[in-house]
Amino acid sequence: VKKIAVLTSGGDSQGMNAAVRAVVRSGLYFGLEVFGIQRGYQGLLNDDIFPMDLRSVGDIIQRGGTVLQSARCLEFTTEEGQKKGAQILRDRGIDGVVVIGGDGSYQGANKLTKQGIKTMCLPGTIDNDISFTDYTIGFDTAVSIVVDAINKLRDTMSSHERSSIVEVMGRHCGDIALHAGLASGAETILVPEVEFNLQEVADRMTQNFKHGKRHSIVIVAEGVGKGEDVAKVIQENCPAYEPRVTVLGHIQRGGTPTAFDRNLASRLGDFAVRQLIEGVSDKACGMIDGKLVATDIGKVVSTKKEFNMELYELALRLSQ
Ligand code: F6P
């Protein structure tokens, strides 16, 4: 490859900027021409493509959001749109594309490969719902934000002997709830991957109250339902604590990325470029057991991420 482009797509995540920086700087270091595509696949279809240099990614490693911006693009889900996008890239002589995003962005990238464009994907989403990588870029930062919020909630809930029902993001994946729950010592973690019974949850909370617990933290992954609905059932079945609901929402997607997310993004961005130079393409890059791996995009989009039951059971054991 001689000319590559980079885009960010779908919901943004902290560390996307560090990934863009790595793609641009590694590409330039290895003598490639690097282009940025503004607003994801929509920008591609609008031919919103511009050359990037070393300075265009200066001062962004520490910033949340994405300087390339992001968009959801219906047109690109059609074959006509995919053909048009590939033609625009060919007309510009761009032979490789790095797509940074989540599941939907991977689906788009998979389609682009079918149109003959050499494509590499980087997992940019707070949800940690991409298979063949232990972590996605932004997940660590989102978990830290949730833990920080729960620390604060715990203070006031203890003072008032209340339960805190905290709704967190993650789409269909319970990983944010699980990791934040373990790190914050939450009493209950409700995730879509594990069946639960709210009556049993309420009974356990009542037992905990009898054993001297002055507060109770219940984390509800959005894939399970609304925090408000969970709170209603708990209020009816566990009068010991008065529940208060907090929906953390998009707060989880902003702010400065952790060192972990920046380093993951930097490693994966550089890896994707080096793979393209070596003639490898149509892969999703990830990190498994600390090692960088490239897996067929098609395989990644058709494989559901495995839920870590061991971690879930540990969180339960420690929250008595
Ligand atoms: O995929 C990231 C994510 O933040 C999910 O956790 C959440 O379900 C969704 O995006 C929210 O999407 P939007 O920003 O369009 O409201």
Average pLDDT of span 298-314: 98
- Answer yes or no: is the C-beta of 253 below 6 A from any ligand 1 atom: yes
Q: Which atom of ligand 1 lies nearest, measured to the CA of 10?
A: 1
Q: Which atom of ligand 1 lies nearest, measured to the CA of 170?
A: 6
CA distance 217 to 205: 10
- Answer yes or no: is the C-beta of 92 below 6 A from any ligand 1 atom: no
Question: Which amino acid, 52?
Answer: M
Q: State yes or no: 249 annotated in a binding site.
A: no
Q: State yes or no: 213 annotated in a binding site.
A: yes
Annotated catalytic, 127? yes
- Answer yes or no: is the C-beta of 104 below 6 A from any ligand 1 atom: no
Q: State yes or no: 187 annotated in a binding site.
A: yes
Count CB neighbours of 46 within 10 A.
15
**What distances in angstroms separate CA 281 from CA 135, 207, 297, one per listed residue?**
21, 55, 9
Q: Quote the DSSP letter at residue 305.
A: P
Average pLDDT of span 252-280: 98
- In the structure encoding, which two tokens stand for residue 97, read together? 């594309």
Span from the CA of 94 to the centroid of ligand 1 (angstroms): 30
pLDDT digits (tens, 9 = 90+) for 93-143: 999 999 999 999 999 999 999 999 999 999 999 999 999 999 999 999 999
Average pLDDT in the chain: 98
Q: State yes or no: 162 annotated in a binding site.
A: yes
Nearest-CA residue for atom 12 of ligand 1 = 11
Percent of the chain topping pLDDT 70: 100
Nearest-CA residue for atom 13 of ligand 1 = 11
CA distance 211 to 205: 10
Nearest-CA residue for atom 8 of ligand 1 = 171
Nearest-CA residue for atom 7 of ligand 1 = 171
Span from the CA of 157 to the centroid of ligand 1 (angstroms): 28
CA distance 100 to 102: 7
pLDDT digits (tens, 9 = 90+) for 295-304: 999 999 999 9
The residues near 133 (Cβ < 8 Å, ≥ 6 apart) are: 123, 284, 285, 286, 287, 288, 293
Choice among 48, 59, 91, 127 that is catalytic: 127
Span from the CA of 229 to the centroid of ligand 1 (angstroms): 20
Rounded to the nearest angstrom, the gap between the alpha carbon of residue 84 and the centroid of all alpha carbons in its chain is: 28
Q: State yes or no: 267 annotated in a binding site.
A: no
pLDDT above 90 for 149: yes
- Answer yes or no: is the C-beta of 138 below 6 A from any ligand 1 atom: no
Nearest-CA residue for atom 15 of ligand 1 = 11
Q: Which atom of ligand 1 lies nearest, measured to the CA of 253?
A: 4
pLDDT digits (tens, 9 = 90+) for 18-65: 999 999 999 999 999 999 999 999 999 999 999 999 999 999 999 999
Reference 96, options 278, 276, 267, 286; nearest CA is: 276
Span from the CA of 127 to the centroid of ligand 1 (angstroms): 8
Predicted confidence at residue 286, as pLDDT, reads: 98
Q: State yes or no: 195 annotated in a binding site.
A: no
pTM, entire model: 0.98
ipTM exceeding the 0.95 mark? yes
pLDDT above 90 for 72: no
H runs (alpha helix) in 126-226 = 139-160, 175-184, 198-210
Span from the CA of 95 to the centroid of ligand 1 (angstroms): 31
Predicted confidence at residue 320, as pLDDT, reads: 86
CA distance 160 to 320: 20
Span from the CA of 114 to the centroid of ligand 1 (angstroms): 27
